[in-house]
Homo-oligomer: A and B are copies of this chain.
Amino acid sequence: MYEMVRSVNLWHTVVLPPTKVKEMTTEMSTRLAKGRTRKNDPERVQADIMRVATQEFSEKGLSGARIDEIAEKTRTSKRMIYYYFKDKETLYLKALERSYQQVRQQEEALDLDHLEPVEALTRLVAFTFEHHLNSPDFIRMVMIENIHHGRFIEQSDLIQTLNAGAVNELEKVYQRGVDAGVFRPNLEAIELHWLISALSFFNVSNRYTFSRIFSWDQSAPENQQRLASHVVEMVLRYVLKKPGHSDPAI
């Protein structure tokens, strides 16, 4: 009985053609038929759950996401979600952590040390802007977490550790620029980071309302390019000692 139901629900629908279901079913009900057995694969199961959960939470929020729906979209069952993740909130926290982790990984690919300060800063800002643009799920998770007053991120030491390095990169570039006499002094790296983040984040987080309110298709490629230029220009103008470099006039 157990074998039968499980086979129908999971395996056959995935692995076997539908026409086979009926005959296999009866065959299977004779307990432990053939060599076909269940495979335990904890890592795969957990990864699968995390993948789906991240998607669902980022799309619908903590209260909007449904455990049953997550389970359905998974190759495993609801039982397994609770087995590995305790409850809905823990699952959400893990998904949040995963989002930060993935983003941080990509960020680390950026290597600025060999570039001169102005070039490095330009690169950093442009990269951040585009990177946010390509990580809407992450942006949404952060939005959702802020709706929850950061109640979950507070519990996560992992996330804090992860992002500590982000400002350091900027700090190094900025300091090199100051030393070289091209950046004006007395700016705080974290505040600079705040400014860059704000512009890049808002571009994704508020695209729907902004576009709608001003009847302006913010997502249109030409507008995205203009915005990207604006952001880069704006930060540079703010940091540079003299706005000497060419005026791109957009």
Contacts and interface: CB of A to CB of B under 8 A. Distances in A.
A142 interface: yes
Interface stretch (A74-82, A119-127, A199-207): A199-207
Contacts of A209: 142, 145-146, 150, 153
A208 interface: yes
A249 interface: yes
A237 interface: yes
Interface residues of A, number: 61
A206 B238 contact: no
Given A62-B64, A209-B153, A226-B191, A214 B167 contact: yes
B150 A215 contact: no
Interface in A208-241: 208-216, 218, 226-227, 230-231, 233-234, 237-238
A187 to B, nearest CB: 7
Given A143-B143, A199-B199, A187 B250 contact: yes
A160 B212 contact: yes
A5 interface: no
Interface string A35-73: 000000000000000000000000011111000000000
Interface string A162-175: 01100100000000
Interface of A: 60-64, 140, 142-147, 149-150, 153-154, 159-160, 163-164, 167, 184, 186-188, 190-191, 193-195, 197-199, 201-203, 205-216, 218, 226-227, 230-231, 233-234, 237-238, 243, 247, 249-250
